[in-house]
Structure 1
């Protein structure tokens, strides 16, 4: 009978640990941690991907080099800026919008909607460089992944 009790206690204990592990891996809504500063068709970044700025001077250099009209560095301490960009496009009508953000352990995941004009849409014939500028916490994550249609998903490591 003692063996049966010990087995029952072991099974209950392992079940509890499995439940805790499952809870630790679950997604947590992180939409309050990630904010949108700007979505624009003219950011100046000609290559698709992610650009992470970790301080005001780095952001000033990126803003100057891009030639686009980017928002100012956030006043609140402990925040960085992440730019998700589509690269250079031959027409207007392309854009990128924030959908949601979640966190699993130390992995921050941001979902975006990539929009493009319909094949028969009337669009401006001008080069555009669509992007989404987001503010995110400087700490609490090891990787950030932006998920969505091409050119995403793209992942960046915390510096």
Structure 2
């Protein structure tokens, strides 16, 4: 079957335009130009013994943090959050056998209503001098409360 060259060219053009229109665009700031996420605290003793993340969407959920065993994380910076505009995310590395571990926000984006936070995780170099104490490192990140329905944390290992 022979296809007219102009028809083939139009099919390629419109097919490409349709596919290009379907491609998702990542949002990296709020409508007012503010960053989607900002790290507001970091601690080696958050009290969260399992790796993962914890969403805190209101004052009542924030108050429950004070009951975490082994927590040495000041809640004062978190009380400055306006929960109508932001959500607090604690990203935890879980319990570690020594000091020298940390987690830091690298970047954030919203893609297809999913908030993607990229964090770097630091661990001590083998043989380095570290404190001999159990730690529960985490990062506290304030994120915009709008534009996303799900959250994904991606990790980069960063031994410095």
Q: 1:37 aligns with which of 35, 40, 56?
A: 40
Task: Could you tell me which runs of 5 or more consecutive residues in structure 1 were left unpaired when the two chains were aligned.
Answer: 151-159
Q: Distance in 1 between matches of 2:114 and 2:82?
A: 25
SS at match of 1:63: helix
SS at match of 2:88: strand
In the alignment, is residue 15 of structure 1 matched against residue 16 of structure 2?
A: yes
* TM value normalised by structure 1: 0.79
Q: Distance in 1 between matches of 2:146 and 2:74?
A: 23
SS at match of 2:131: coil
Check conservation: 2:97, 2:132, Cα contact below 8 A: yes
Measure how far apart 1:75 and its partner are: 3.2
Measure how far apart 1:5 and its partner are: 7.0
Larger mean Cα displacement after TM superposition, 80-89 or 56-65: 56-65
Q: Distance in 1 between matches of 2:155 and 2:6?
A: 51
Check conservation: 2:124, 2:130, Cα contact below 8 A: yes
Could you tell me which residue of structure 2 aligns to residue 155 of structure 1?
none
Check conservation: 1:89, 1:128, Cα contact below 8 A: yes
Measure how far apart 1:76 and its partner are: 5.9
Could you tell me which residue of structure 1 aligns to residue 72 of structure 2?
68
Number of aligned residue pairs: give it.
Answer: 146
Task: Could you tell me which runs of 5 or more consecutive residues in structure 2 were left unpaired when the two chains were aligned.
Answer: none
* TM value normalised by structure 2: 0.79
Check conservation: 2:58, 2:83, Cα contact below 8 A: no
Larger mean Cα displacement after TM superposition, 65-74 or 131-140: 65-74
